[in-house]
Each structure stands twice: as structure tokens, then as C-alpha cells.
Structure 1
Amino acid sequence: MGASRSLQRSSPMRLLIALLGLLLFLWWMIQPPSSSASLNINLPDASSATPTAAMHPPKKAPPITHVTMNNLTATANPLRNQERLLILTPLARFYDEYWQNLLKLDYPRHLIELGFITPKTHSGHLATAKLQEALRRVQNGSKKHRFAKVTILRQDFDTPVGQTERERHALKAQKERRASMARARNSLVFTTLNPGISWVLWLDSDIVETPPTLFQDLALHDKPVIVPNCFQRYKDNGVWKERPYDFNSWQDSETALNLGKTMKEDEILLEGYAEMPTYRALMAYQRDEKADKHTEMLLDGVGGTALLVKAEIHRDGAMFPTFPFYHLIETEGFAKMVRRLGHQPYGLPNYLVYHYNE
């Protein structure tokens, strides 16, 4: 009996059948699924799916653009050299006076690109709607009046303080407020700055009066960073007068430098507050009505109400610190960073632009 079972287990026929079964199993395992089987897989409805570039590659490959940055200039005569200007505005509220003043700038519009960033607030929503309506009228008009490009960004972060003038300028709100402003400025410039831009003009949304030749006048000085003096018109007993407004453009003082040495790493120096006397030389108070409006002065801090920057300075890495940078933040921190990069900011104490009077 033992010999018989041994012969059955070693039968060539049984071994052949087992081998064929193994081969059939292996063949079945390596076959791709049939089309009918694929229909049983739960896939999202194609009509509701969001297509992506990876899912739907373009039928025609986009062209490759070659840009020779060595040929890009930022000179004292931008019009002659057809240099492109990027005007950037953080826009919390829309003032028609700001918009009308912007339209009066006499640099050719085909050489101007615009960039805006608006906050996630009710006033930000209103500002965006009004801006879009104003842009439609211009961009749908005659071709010679259209701007080369317009970009509108919405902040993806909240505004930390209120937007009334009193709330914006309260001392206790400055660190958070200006860090948020710096973040908005950085988002705006690094999103919109393309390889063809020679100059960046930062123009606040509450600057309502400038000379039409603002850009050319500032560019004429051929400086890496330059800022005019920002004043404000107001009525006093029915008489129009004017006063300094922006105190962020200054020359440093020993008092301020020594004060910085005593501060904690995360504390900031602020200008224009009686609670923090720095005794800096403020450009706001250096105006001489009888002197040449193109008189220059060296600056250690700059304001951002109307700030002209050669685009190469931003490309070098100069940004608006959202953190205490040598105890400075936002535009004043920007000036410090510019100096650390080996460039010198300048100011024009006798050249005025005007801020909206709330």
C-alpha cells in the first residue's frame, strides 16, 4: 500500500497538471484589468471634478520665454529708455481722490503695471468692488489709456486692528499693525514683480495729491530708494493750511541707537510718539519752502506713502520685515535692510505729496 501511494504522488501526469495550474495562475495574475472591471471602480463624477494641469496637460506646450536681465535699466530718464513702472498700493479703503490722482500721472500707461492688495474686512470688500468698477471704465476704454497689466490680490490673513485713523495710529497697535502691513507689502511685490519691471512705486491708497510728474521727478535722482515728503491739507477756522504727516522718514540719532541697545530682541522703535522720544532728524520738519524741491538728504528710515524703489533692490532681497529687524519694522525696517545690502536711501524734504485728511 505504501509503495502504491508513493507512485501516485510521483506520477508524471499529476506533476504535469500541477505545473499547468501554476502557469495558468501566474498568467492570470499578470494580466491588466479588463475594461468592464474598471467600470466598477468608484471615480468622482468628471463634471464635478476640478481639473488640474497634471490631469489635463495643455494640448500645445507653452512657449519658453528668454529674458536678458542684463539689458534691464533703471535710469534718470525712464521715458527715453522705455522703462516699465510697477505701481503698488495696499488698499484698505478706496478714495476717489486717490484714483483720480493716479489717472493724472503722465507716464505712458502702456509702460505702467498696477498691483493692489485688499484686506479681509468689510471695508476691504467695498474697496475691491469700487476698484474693480474704476478699472473696468479704464481698461475697457481706448487702448492708449489702458494700463499694461493690473493685479488685485486679497489678503489671506486677518487685519489685526481697526481701520479708523485713531485705531491705526495708536501706539499699542503699531507692532501688530505694521507687521500685518509688511506682510501685505511683501505678498504684493513678490507676486507682481516680473522680469520686465525696472521701477517700483509704492503709493498708499490715501495719497490724494501728487505732481503728475511724480515718477519722473523721483527717478530723475537715479537713487536706489527715494521718498518725497508727505504732508496733509486741513482747514483751520475756514482757512486751508498744511502740516507734516509722515514721520517715518528720518536720520538716526545717538539717542535712538542707544535706546535700541537697551531693548529686548522682540521690541521695536517707533517714530512720532511722545512716549518714545528718539530725537531723530525727521524729514517732515526739514522742509524749506524757498529751497529747491529736488534738494536731497540721506535717510536711515523711510515711509511708504510714496516710495520709489529700483526693482533690482527688491530682487536683491530687500523686503519689509514683519519682525523686529534691528528694532525696526515694515518700511523703516526696509530702509535698514537696504542699507545692510549696501545701498543708501534718500529723501526729498521740499518735494511734497499730500495725504487724505480724515
Structure 2
Amino acid sequence: MAVARTMRRTGPTTLLLATILALGFLFFVLTPSSSSAITDTGSVVSSQQREDAADNILSPPTKPFVKAQSVREDGHIAPPPVIHYNLNSLTSTSDSASMNERVLILTPLARFYQGFWDNVAKLNYPHELVSIGFIIPNTKDGNTAAAALEEAISKTQSGPIGSRFASISILRQDFEPPLQSQDEKERHKMTNQKERRESMSRARNSLVFTTLGPSTSWVLWLDSDIVETPNTLIQDLTSHNRPIIVPNCYQRYYNNDKKAMDTRPYDYNSWIDSPTAQALADSMEPDEILLEGYAELPTYRTLMALLADTANPNPRREISLDGVGGTALMVKADVHRDGAMFPAFPFYHLVETEGFAKMAKRLGYEAYGLPDYFVYHYNE
């Protein structure tokens, strides 16, 4: 008698394999999924933290670009998948923390100050939404700074889960800085400004274009010698929902006349333009730049540093600016994505952060300042 086709293909081996597959499927379906994992230290990590947390306690690459490679059946590594990012759904709002908006803190670093890192570690914006990027000159002093930075990072990134940042990247400059000395007086000599600030522009551009990921909503530029800010710095600046906003940078010092600690303005690069400065620019050669804060080059611009109401400060008070400093500068990531960078060449006779404000304005973005909201620079 002929055997039916379906019966000819059914045997003990086939039935056994079918049973194993069915049991495996039932196990997969019925096993409850968990949104947490147990770390080697015994702490529970949420699925979001597990995805965002750094893979390395020192300097992993920017998270969105890390994609695991799969191995095919023939032993060859499969090509990386095509990843789609919908930047139209990316937000940068006045309620950044509640909206889970990611922040990228970027710092050019030539010297390491423990106070800087301690201040960053105390920022209370959810650390799982914060990535950090550094760029360090490839010099002897840079090597010293990098070693100290890595030690500080290691302590934070191996500490409690809630204190760890999503990722930290450390870049080393591939060009020589124009100044070997990082002494404050040497850095601020007028004769050194053009070369120094053009070099700083290159460093800033390298840093932002390397680390800016498709999930970044805000970029906070924070100089490595800013050692004191409110813990709510990120929330406070993003709450204004401005494309570019900068606080007032001051410095604490001992006032010999008062015999007591006092404060004084430090950053004069946040200003409102003046007819005098515009006339000076019109008379300059193409490669010349305008500088602020030097008696040899009076511009008569309105300086935000001198507009602070220290007696009755209103931290929410805003003013419109034409130039910005970079000691603490909050920028919507879309401003950088649209092409605003730090010109390493005279751009309308401006370079670095002041040139950035000019370029952003040409792209349709306005800059704002907070005269009564203070951050503090290290006092050498």
C-alpha cells in the first residue's frame, strides 16, 4: 500500500525536533521579561541605564555609533546594519529633563582642575542623559592633564549607577598648540590672541564634529577652569529655550581693600556690538581680528560682564547679544548641525566663540545672555 506523502515525511527524529522547538517557543513566550539587570556589584540597573551606561569606565566612544557586529553561519562578520535616525522627532525644549533630552558637555582641556570635575559630577541633570567629550593637547602638560582626568573619571564611572555618565570621550589634538605655557598672563596677552584663539577654534570644531551624536539635543560648552556653577546649571540654561545662551562668568578673589573675599567680572567676550567696533572692523585688513577687553583696542561695546546687578540679581533676566564667550555656553544641537562652528579664521573680523555667534546669526539663530546668572572661573 502506498504511504501518504505527509506520513512519509514524519518520523521519530522529526517529531523529536518539533517537540524541542515547541518547548523552546513556549519557554520564550512564558518567561517574564525583565526591565532590569544585576550588575557585578549586585545593584539593579534599569533597561534605559543599561543601554546608556558607558561600557568602559574611562573613555568609550559616543554611544549611538556603537553597533555590535554579528557573525554569519559561514564564519564571516556580517556587514553593519543600516541605522535610521529620525531627527525630526528630536526635541530641545524648556523642560529638557522631563523630556529626556540628551546633553553633550564639551570641554577643551589643557590643565586639569579637580574643582572642575567635582562641579561637573555634582550637576543634578540625570547623568544617564549626559555624555561628555574632552580634547587635550598632545604635549607634556596635556599628558599630565589626561592622566589626572582619567583617574577622576574612573572614580565616577565605577561609582554608584546614578552618578555615572552615559559616555565619556577623550580626544587628543593632532596639531601643536601655539602656546606652550598655560600661564594665565601668557594666555591673555593681546599679541597671542589671534593664534591662540584660532587654535582653540580648531580644537572646538574637532571636538563637536567628532562627538555630536544623532540623539543629542543640547551642547554645553564648559571650560576646564570653571570650578563653580549651580547644580541646576543645565536645567536653568535650557529652561530659557534659546538657541544660544550664556551665563555671566565671574571670579572669586580676595579683595585687599575690603579685607574679605569678593567677586569680579572675568569673561568679556559676551557683548552687544557698537558703532565704534563696526567702524573699526570696516577699516581692518581681511586677516585682522577685533578683540574685546584690551585698552589698546577700545571698541565701546556694551559688555554683559558689566551689566550684572550684584545687589539684587534676577537670574532669569535676559539680554540679546552679538558676541558670546565660551566659558559656559549652552547651544541647541541643531545650531551646530546647521553649520554654525567656531571660525579658525577671521569671520567678519571675529574668531572662536565671538565668530560662532556671528555665524549663528547669519544662519538665523539669535544669542542671549543672562547678566545675573553666575558661573565662576578658577583664580590662579
Please report the TM-score for the alignment, with normalisation by the length of structure 2. 0.78
Structure 2 SS opposite 1:354: strand
Q: 2:91 aligns with which of 73, 76, 96?
A: 73
Q: Which deviations, in whole Å up to 9, do the C-alpha atoms of 1:316-352 show, x marking residues without a partner?
A: 0000000000000000000000100011000000000
For 1:232, the aligned partner's letter is: Q
What CA distance in whole angstroms lies between the structure 2 residues aligned with 1:343 and 1:94? 33
What CA distance in whole angstroms lies between the structure 2 residues aligned with 1:233 and 1:273? 21
Higher-Rg member (1/2): 1
TM-aligned CA distance change 1:212 to 1:260, over 3 Å: same
For 2:314, the aligned partner's letter is: D
Q: Is the counterpart of residue 169 in structure 1 residue 172 in structure 2?
A: no
Q: Is the counterpart of residue 88 in structure 1 residue 106 in structure 2?
A: yes
Q: Shift in Å at residue 64 of structure 1? A: 2.5
Percent identity over the alignment is 60
Q: Is the counterpart of residue 156 in structure 1 residue 174 in structure 2?
A: yes
Deviating 4+ runs (over 3 angstroms): none
Q: Shift in Å at residue 147 of structure 1? A: 0.8
What CA distance in whole angstroms lies between the structure 2 residues aligned with 1:204 and 1:240? 23
What CA distance in whole angstroms lies between the structure 1 residues aligned with 2:265 and 2:295? 16
Counterpart for residue 306 of structure 2: 285
Counterpart for residue 347 of structure 1: 369
Counterpart for residue 202 of structure 2: 183
Matches within 5 A, 1:254-333: 254-289=275-310, 290-333=312-355
Structure 1 SS opposite 2:376: strand
Gaps of 5+ in 2: 1-68, 70-74
Q: Is the counterpart of residue 114 in structure 1 residue 132 in structure 2?
A: yes
Moved more, 182-191 or 115-124: 115-124
TM-aligned CA distance change 1:58 to 1:186, over 3 Å: farther
Q: 1:203 aligns with which of 222, 228, 236?
A: 222
Structure 2 SS opposite 1:127: helix
Q: Is the counterpart of residue 215 in structure 1 residue 255 in structure 2?
A: no
CA contact 2:92–2:218 (8 Å) conserved in 1: yes
What CA distance in whole angstroms lies between the structure 2 residues aligned with 1:217 and 1:141? 26
Please report the TM-score for the alignment, with normalisation by the length of structure 1. 0.83
Over aligned residue pairs, what C-alpha RMSD do you find? 1.2
TM-aligned CA distance change 1:58 to 1:248, over 3 Å: farther
Matches within 5 A, 1:36-47: none
What CA distance in whole angstroms lies between the structure 2 residues aligned with 1:316 and 1:356? 33
Gaps of 5+ in 1: 1-52
Structure 1 SS opposite 2:230: coil
What CA distance in whole angstroms lies between the structure 2 residues aligned with 1:83 and 1:328? 32
Aligned residues between the structures? 303
Matches within 5 A, 1:226-241: 226-237=245-256, 238-241=259-262
Q: 2:269 aligns with which of 238, 248, 271?
A: 248
Q: Shift in Å at residue 80 of structure 1? A: 1.1
Counterpart for residue 25 of structure 1: none
Structure 1 SS opposite 2:201: helix
What CA distance in whole angstroms lies between the structure 2 residues aligned with 1:233 and 1:132? 28
Structure 2 SS opposite 1:78: coil
What CA distance in whole angstroms lies between the structure 2 residues aligned with 1:314 and 1:193? 9
Q: Which deviations, in whole Å up to 9, do the C-alpha atoms of 1:121-180 show, x marking residues without a partner?
A: 221111100111111111122222211111100000011012110110000000000000
What CA distance in whole angstroms lies between the structure 2 residues aligned with 1:117 and 1:291? 34
